[in-house]
Amino acid sequence: MMMNTQGALSMRALKTTTTTTKNTFTVGQKVPPTYYYKGGGGAERRGDAHATRAKTTRDFGVVDADDVDKKATTFTTFTTTQNVTHNVGWKIMQKKRGSMQKHEALMGRRPSVSAGATFMDSFSKFSAVFSNLFPLWTVLSAALALTKPAFFNFMTTPTITFCLALLMFSMGITLTVDDFLRVFKKPDVIGLGFLYCYGVMPALAFFIGNAIGLSGPLLAGLILVGSINGGQASNLCAYIAKGDVALSVLMTTATTIGCIFMTPLICKLALGAIVDVNAIGMAISTIKVVLVPVVLGVTLNKVTPKTCRTVEPFCPIVGVIMTVILVGGSVAQCADGILNAGVKLQIAAFMLHLLGGVLGYWGMKVFKYSETTCRTCAIETAMKSSAFGFLLASLHFPEFLVRVPSAVSVVWMAVMGSMMAVVWRFIPVEGE
């Protein structure tokens, strides 16, 4: 027995050999995926000159400037070490497995795939299709709210807060701290977005309302819509459109905080009305609805990134469902006013969000910003927090018709934003 065991051990040892070869590659040259290299960005970040890390590539990778040690910028080459282990037994197993797979292919059978991977692949496809139908779900929700407003009686203030917070959390787990650090380096973009929100949109509402000939209360309501902050649903649309979600979140946060003093000022100048916005209440709502869910999501992404990547296909579904429910709840609260408002108000609300998106896009394009930034700003400008406008109109304007434009805007804002998101989703951004 002892001899057999020793013989087996010696045979195993004889069958395993390790060879190490050093190879030098230049920038731009293809490198096989099995190579490891010393130095470079990975070792430099760890502060360990002798550290090694894998060169992760598919099939063949291409050496770029990032692969060269940043401390030795004058060098265009680095040395890689390839460890090759020859195991005869392992080779035999691999050979048998390859023969079995060829046999299955000849017999018309596909190699086995794990059930978990198959489910996630299928669910990711379902998530994409479901998100692409976002405009349809929005219209159906609005139609249900107009015909059966009692269906949305469950949409109380705490429920609305929960839906908004869950929407923001679903976006937060798709972001990292680096995303926000990158955006903080571009304060000019956030500043322009703030200008479009509180400069362009109120002026646009004023001119559209007067051009179409809206009555006084409806005109006041439309200007109020143009004077409020960006909507949280814009972050979801930026995600679906493959825009800059971190930028969208920061722009939404900036305009929401700015709403504390900008909305009352614009209403006073344009309408002659003093709209008393509760500054402390607005700040608390911003923290609860925007900042806390996003920070929680980013933190979770930092602590358990693999888990977040696993659940990421669920995020757009959650966001779409929350937005659709919010649209239905807002429309249901003044269904009669929307039905009796007439075609003029529908056209005015539609044009406000359409032209807002167009001006938001080209307003960034003229300053030579990237396509992704232009798309994000267009969505952020076009989409307003119409539900908040409805609340302000209800609290501070005695005329009922003033709140109707906000309810109409909820529908067109969501439809316009979701349509931009879906269209841009299928238009790739070149060079970004």
Using left for φ > 0, alpha for ψ between -120 and 50, and beta otherwise, residue 90 falls in alpha
List 86's β-bridge partners, or say none.
17
**pLDDT value for 432:** 58
Residue carrying the six token digits 């269904």: 335
User: H helices of 272-332, where?
Assistant: 279-286, 292-303, 305-311, 315-332
- Cβ neighbours, 10 Å, residue 138: 26
**Residue-wise DSSP of 199-225:** IIHHHHHHHHHHHHT--HHHHHHHHHH
pLDDT of 342 reads: 82
Q: How far apart are CA 231 and CA 236, in angstroms?
A: 10
The secondary structure of 263-274 as a DSSP string is HHHHHHHHHS--
Quote the tokens at residue 266: 């614009």
pLDDT score recorded for residue 167:
83
Tell me the backbone φ, ψ of residue 360, rounded to 5 degrees: -65, -35
Per-residue pLDDT of the chain (432 residues; tens, 9 = 90+): 444 444 443 434 333 344 444 455 444 444 444 433 333 333 333 333 333 333 333 333 344 444 443 333 333 333 333 333 334 444 444 555 555 555 555 455 445 555 656 877 788 888 888 888 888 998 899 899 999 999 999 988 788 888 888 888 888 888 888 888 887 888 899 999 999 999 999 999 999 999 999 988 899 999 999 998 888 788 889 888 888 988 988 898 888 878 888 888 888 888 876 566 566 766 677 677 778 888 898 899 889 988 888 888 888 888 889 889 988 888 888 788 788 878 899 999 999 999 999 999 999 999 999 999 999 999 999 999 887 787 788 777 888 888 889 888 988 998 899 899 999 988 988 765
DSSP 117-167: HHHHHHHHHHHHHHHHTHHHHHHHHHHHHHH-GGGGTT--HHHHHHHHHHH
